[in-house]
Amino acid sequence: MDSIGRLACIVACAGLGACGGGGTVETNVRLPASDRPDVTPTASSDAIRVPAGEAFNYPRFSSGQEGPDARGSAMAAGADGAVCFAEVNGEGKAWGAFQLGYAFDHQATSPSPCVVHVRLTAEEAGRSSRGEGAGADASADGAVNLVFFMKDSMGLTIKEESLVFSTLNRGPRDATTRHDFVFEADLQPERGYYVIVSGRVDASATQSATSRVDLKVSDVAMDIRWGREPTGAVRAASQGS
Confidence of residue 117 (pLDDT cuts 50, 70, 90): very high
User: DSSP string of 121-158?
Assistant: EEEEEEEEEE-TT--TT--EEEEEEEEEEEEETTS-EE
Confidence of residue 228 (pLDDT cuts 50, 70, 90): confident
Higher-scoring residue by pLDDT: 4, 23: 23
171 phi and psi, to 5 degrees?
Answer: 100, 180
Has residue 88 got a pLDDT over 50? yes
For residues 113 and 83, give the distance between their C-alpha atoms in angstroms, rounded to a whole number. 33
For residues 109 and 105, give the distance between their C-alpha atoms in angstroms, rounded to a whole number. 12
Residue 24 confidence (pLDDT): 85
**Model-level pTM?**
0.84
Per-residue b or e along 115-135, where b marks 16 or more CB atoms closer than 10 Å to that residue's CB = bbbbbbbbbbbbbbbbeeeee
Torsion angle (degrees, nearest 10) of CA 28, 97, 103, 53 = -160
Confidence of residue 196 (pLDDT cuts 50, 70, 90): very high
10-38 tens-digit pLDDT: 333 333 233 333 468 999 999 999 999 99
Mean per-residue pLDDT for 175-201? 97
**What is the rounded end-to-end Cα distance, in angstroms, of the chain?**
38
Inter-CA distances, 114 with 56, 172, 188, 225, Å: 19, 41, 11, 5
Residue 230 confidence (pLDDT): 56
